[in-house]
Structure 1
Amino acid sequence: MNVMPDIGAQGLTGRLAAAAAALRWEDLPDSVRTVARQATLDTIGCALAGAGEPLADILFAELAEAGGAPQADVIGRSARLPAAAAALANGAAGHALDFDDVNMGMPGHPSVAILPALLALASARGASGAAVLTALVAGTELACRVGRTMAPGHYDGLGFHATGTLGGLGAAAACANLLGLDAARTAVAIGIAATQVAGLKSMFGTDCKPLHAGAAARTGLLAARLAARGFTARTDAIECAQGFAATHSPDFHPTRAEETAPGGFHILANLFKYHAACYLTHAPIEAARSLRTHPGVAPERIAAVRLTLSEACDRVCNIPTPRTGLEAKFSLRLTTAMALAGVETGALASYSEATAADPRLIALRDKVEFDFRPDRTHTLADLELRLTDGTILTAHHDSGVPAADLADQGRRLGVKFRALAEPVLGAARADALAVRLAALETEPDVGAVLALCSG
C-alpha cells in the first residue's frame, strides 16, 4: 500500500516538511488521485457559485482597486489579479457558501484553503495538473497531521478556526511542493506561514469565516514564494518554545503526527457536502430527513424535537434565531426544521432571509431542544421526534464516514458541480470544464483549464 513518505527522525516541523517536499505523483495510489480530482472539482464549483456573493464582490473590488500585475485568474470573473490577491479572492469565494469539503483531521476545510493558492501559483507560473494534485495531497496531509497534534484544544478549546490556521500551513507546504522546494526551504515556508495565520470561530455566520479561507491561501502562497527567495524563519516553528503549538493550543501531542492515516493519506477522509450548511448540521439534517418520510410526520403534527449532539456543535453552529441566509447555515435549530419541513437543504436559494423569517419554520425551529455531551463525536446525531398523538420516533446518523464508493461519490459531485457552475458558465462551458477537471492530471498547464472558469 502506498503511504505518505516516512517523516523520519528530525524535529516535527522538519519531518513534516521533508514528507511534503518528497511527495510525487507516482507515490499516489489511484484512490488518492481520485479524491484529489474530486476535491478540485468540488472546490472550483463552490468558488464559481460563491463568486457572486456580496462578500466576494467586496473583496474583489478592494483587490482590483489596489491593482498590481495581472498574474492569475479570478474564478467566476473575467479578470486577473496578482497571484496572492487571486488566492485570497478565490479562497474566500470558495468558502462563501460553506458548501466545500471538510476533513475532521484538521478539523476544518482543507481544499478551499490550499487549492486556491495552488491554482493562483499555477496560473501565474505554469504547472501541470498532476503537479497541482500532488501538491494538494501534500498540503492536506500536513494540515491534518498538525491538526491531530493540537486537538482538541486548538479548535474546540480556544476557538481557532482551523481552516484559517492549519489551512494556511497546508497551503504553504503545498505551494512549496509545487515550487519544488527542498525540505529545508519547505520548513522555512511553514515557519513563515505559522507566524501569520489566523481565524476565530466567533466569526462563524459572518463574512469573516470565508475570509479566513482566502487569507490562508494567500498566506501559504506568500510564505512559499518568500522561502523560495531566501527569506528566513525558524525551521521548528510548530514545536519550538513560544511557537505555533505552544501559543495556539493547550494540547500538544507531537507523536500523533507519526500516525499513518487509514489508507495511507488523510485526503481519503475528506467529507463532501450535499447540504449547503455547516458540516456539523449535516447529521441532524440527515436524521430529520429519514424521519420525515415516516407515515404521520408533518410539521403541524410535531410536538417536540430533541437532538443529542457533541457539545462542540453548541460552539460551532448553534445560532438560535438566525436572521440572514448566512446565519441560517450555522443554526442547528433552523436547518433541522428545514429538513423536517421538506425544504431542500442542498439548494443555495434555501438559505435566505425569507427562509429565516418563515413563520412555519420558526414555529418548528423553536421546538428543537438539545442534549449536548462532551463525550460525543462531532459528526454523530441522535434525534427524537415526539408527535402530537404521543408517538415517539428516533433516528441516528453519523456524517463522519468517508464514502466507500468513490465512483458513486464522483457522480454525486458531478451533479453538484453542474448545479453550481451552470448558472455562472452556462451548460456547455460547465460540461467542458467538468471533463477537463476529471482528467486534470493529463493537463500540461492548469492555466488553460482555469481560463474556462472566467465569468
Structure 2
Amino acid sequence: MTTKPAPSAAVQTAGITRELAARSAALCYTDLPEDVRLRVRQCLLDWIGVTLAGACEPLVHMLAEEAREQGGHAQTSVVGHAMTTSSRQAALINGAASHALDYDDVNMACTGHPSVVLIPALLALAESRGASGRDFMTAFAAGYETMCQLGLASGDAQYSNGFHTTATLGTLGAAAACARLMQLDANDTATALGIASTMAAGLKSMFGTMCKPLHAGRASADGLQAAQLAARGFTSRADAIECPQGFIATHGGTASLEAALAAPDGSWHLRHNLFKFHAACYGTHAAIEAARYLRLQHALRPDDVLRVTVQVGAASEGVCNIPEPRTGLEAKFSLRHTVAMALAGADTAGLDAFSDEAVRAPEVAALRERVQVVLAPQCPGLTLSEVVIETRNGAVLRQRHDSGRPASDLLEQQQRLEEKFRRLVEPVLNPAERGELIDLVARLDELTDLSPLASMLASQACSDRH
C-alpha cells in the first residue's frame, strides 16, 4: 500500500463534507438504539428477499456474464449465481439485482433507495475483510444517515433537475458506509466523500429501463471504490460536496449545513425508512392504496367504473407517470396502470402481475383507458395521492392516502416483511432455507463474521432453480 500524504489544511476546515465525514466516522454500535438496530436488520432481510428474487432478471445475468468474461480476483459472493468475483463487480451485480424489481425500501429525505446502494458494498467489503455483524450494522447506519443528510443538504433541486438520487446521493452514502466499516478517520472519510462526489451520476430519464437498477449497482460499486482509494492515500477535495462547481452546485440545489444536520423526528433517519409492499415505484403506492380501499369499501367491479381521476404531486411527472406502458418494467412507473390494477383486483404485491404479458391483460388495459392523472398542488411530493372514481350509477367516490408515514408497530412490520420475504424467495429457497436466513438476520448482532450469510446467498444459483 502506498504511503498516504499528510492531511491538508483544507481537510481540517471543510464545511458540509468535513462535518458529515466526522459524524459518520465517529458512529459506534453502542450509539444505535434497539429499535434502530431492529430497523437495520429489517432492511437487510428485505434486501435479501428482493435481491434473491431479482438475481434471475435478464439484466443481472448480463452483468454476471460480463464479470465472468472479465475475470478477476475472486473475493466476494454474487447473490443467486453461485460465483465469486472481485468486490467491486459483486457490489455492482448485487446492487443491480436488488433494485431490478423496484421492490426495495425508500427514504424520502433523500428521495431514494438506501439499502440497495449500501448493503451490496458493505457485504462485499465485510466478506473480504471478515467484519462482524455489529461492524456491518454500524457502517450501514453511518451510510444511511449520511445519504439522508445529504438529501436534506441539497434539497429537492437535484431530483427535479433529472438526477436519480439513488445513484448520486447513494454513491456518497456507500462511500461513507464503507469508510466506516474500514474504520477510516474523519479526514480519510472526507476524502472518500470527495472521490465519490466526482463519480456520482444517474438520470431519471432512464426509469423503466435496465439502467435504473444499474444506477444502484454503480453507486454501490463506486462508493466502495471511493473508500478503498481513500484508504490508499488517493486525494480529492475535502469540500467536494459544497465547493463551487462541486457536487451540490453541479447536480442542483443550494448547500446547507444547517439542513444537513437538522435532526429528523425521532433523531434518526432510519426511523423514517419506508418498506414497499407493492412491487412498483413508491410514487404509485399512495394511489394504489386509495384505489384499493375504494374498490373494497364499495365492492366495485371493473364495469362499475366510468372514470377515474388520480391527483398527485408535480414530482410524479417524469418519475411514475408513464401513460401507456409497453413492458412490465414500464408498468411499475405508471400511475394509470397501477391504479387500474388495483381497481381490477390484481395482486400488486406479486411479481407476476408486472410481467410483459400482464401489461397487455384486456381487463386492466380497458380500465387504464378510464384513468386520468392530474398534477395537483394539494398533493405535494411523491407520497400523497387522492383518487376520485365516478361510477356508472352516478356516485362520486373519493379517497386520499399518504404513503410517507413510517410504521409505528415494528413487530407488525416484521411480520409483513417476513411474509414478503417468504413469498419472494419461494422459487429459489426451500422452507428450511427461508427459516435459516430469517434466523441469521435476526442474530446479526451476534455474528462474528458474515460468512454464514454470504455462503447461503452465494449457493443459490438461479439458473439451476428456474
Task: Name the TM-score, length of structure 2 as normaliser.
Answer: 0.94
Which residue is 2:382 aligned to? 378
266, 272, 277: which one aligns with 2:275: 272
Which residue is 2:135 aligned to? 131
5+ long unaligned stretches in structure 2:
1-11, 461-466
Q: Does 1:391 align with 2:395?
A: yes
245, 248, 252: which one aligns with 1:245: 248
Which residue is 1:206 aligned to? 209
Which residue is 2:7 aligned to? none
5+ long unaligned stretches in structure 1:
1-7
CA change 1:253–1:366 in 2 (3 A) is farther
Please list, as runs of the form range in 1=range in 2, the aligned pairs for 1:244-263 lying within 5 A after superposition.
Answer: 244-263=247-266
Q: Does 1:228 align with 2:231?
A: yes
Output the CA distance in 1 between the equivalents of 2:118 and 2:31: 20
CA change 1:434–1:223 in 2 (3 A) is same
Q: Match for 1:252: what amino acid?
A: A
Please list, as runs of the form range in 1=range in 2, the aligned pairs for 1:284-295 lying within 5 A after superposition.
Answer: 284-295=287-298
Deviation, 1:370, is 2.1
Q: Does 1:283 align with 2:298?
A: no
Q: Does 1:316 align with 2:319?
A: yes
Deviation, 1:201, is 0.3
Which residue is 2:456 aligned to? 452
Q: Does 1:352 align with 2:361?
A: no
Q: Match for 1:311: what amino acid?
A: A
> CA contact under 8 A between 1:69 and 1:82: conserved in structure 2?
yes
SS of the aligned residue for 1:306 comes to strand
Cα-to-partner distance string for 1:33-88 (whole Å, 9 max, x where unaligned): 01011001111111100000000000110011110011001111211010010000
Deviation, 1:10, is 5.4
363, 366, 369: which one aligns with 1:363: 366
> CA contact under 8 A between 1:33 and 1:133: conserved in structure 2?
yes
Output the CA distance in 1 between the equivalents of 2:102 and 2:375: 23
Output the CA distance in 1 between the equivalents of 2:381 and 2:245: 31
Output the CA distance in 2 between the equivalents of 1:453 and 1:246: 40
Q: Match for 2:427: what amino acid?
A: P
Output the CA distance in 2 between the equivalents of 1:374 and 1:253: 26
Please list, as runs of the form range in 1=range in 2, the aligned pairs for 1:11-160 lying within 5 A after superposition.
Answer: 11-156=15-160, 158-160=161-163
Output the CA distance in 1 between the equivalents of 2:97 and 2:261: 34
Q: Match for 2:96: what amino acid?
A: A
> CA contact under 8 A between 1:95 and 1:210: conserved in structure 2?
yes
Q: Does 1:174 align with 2:177?
A: yes
139, 163, 167: which one aligns with 2:166: 163
SS of the aligned residue for 1:181 comes to coil
> CA contact under 8 A between 2:54 and 2:100: conserved in structure 1?
yes
Output the CA distance in 1 between the equivalents of 2:287 and 2:299: 20
* Shift >4 Å, 4+ stretches: none
Deviation, 1:374, is 4.4
Output the CA distance in 2 between the equivalents of 1:10 and 1:194: 15
Output the CA distance in 1 between the equivalents of 2:105 and 2:154: 21
SS of the aligned residue for 2:202 comes to coil
SS of the aligned residue for 2:375 comes to strand
Q: Does 1:413 align with 2:417?
A: yes
Deviation, 1:296, is 4.8
Deviation, 1:421, is 1.9
Q: Match for 2:368: what amino acid?
A: R
Q: Match for 2:201: what amino acid?
A: A
Which residue is 1:3 aligned to? none
Which residue is 1:298 aligned to? 301
Which residue is 2:6 aligned to? none
Output the CA distance in 1 between the equivalents of 2:255 and 2:128: 37
Deviation, 1:404, is 0.3
Which residue is 1:331 aligned to? 334
Number of aligned residue pairs: 447
Deviates more, 1:440-449 or 1:328-337: 440-449
Output the CA distance in 1 between the equivalents of 2:356 and 2:424: 21
Deviation, 1:203, is 0.2
Deviation, 1:428, is 1.3
Q: Percent identity?
A: 51
CA change 1:207–1:295 in 2 (3 A) is same
Q: Does 1:219 align with 2:222?
A: yes
Output the CA distance in 1 between the equivalents of 2:96 and 2:269: 23
Deviation, 1:161, is 0.2
Output the CA distance in 2 between the equivalents of 1:436 and 1:423: 20
Q: Match for 1:167: what amino acid?
A: G
Deviation, 1:252, is 3.2
CA change 1:329–1:362 in 2 (3 A) is same
Output the CA distance in 1 between the equivalents of 2:111 and 2:455: 32
Q: Match for 1:431: what amino acid?
A: G
Output the CA distance in 1 between the equivalents of 2:425 and 2:444: 17
> CA contact under 8 A between 1:152 and 1:251: conserved in structure 2?
no
Deviation, 1:366, is 1.2
SS of the aligned residue for 1:424 comes to coil
Deviation, 1:425, is 2.3
Task: Name the TM-score, length of structure 1 as normaliser.
Answer: 0.96
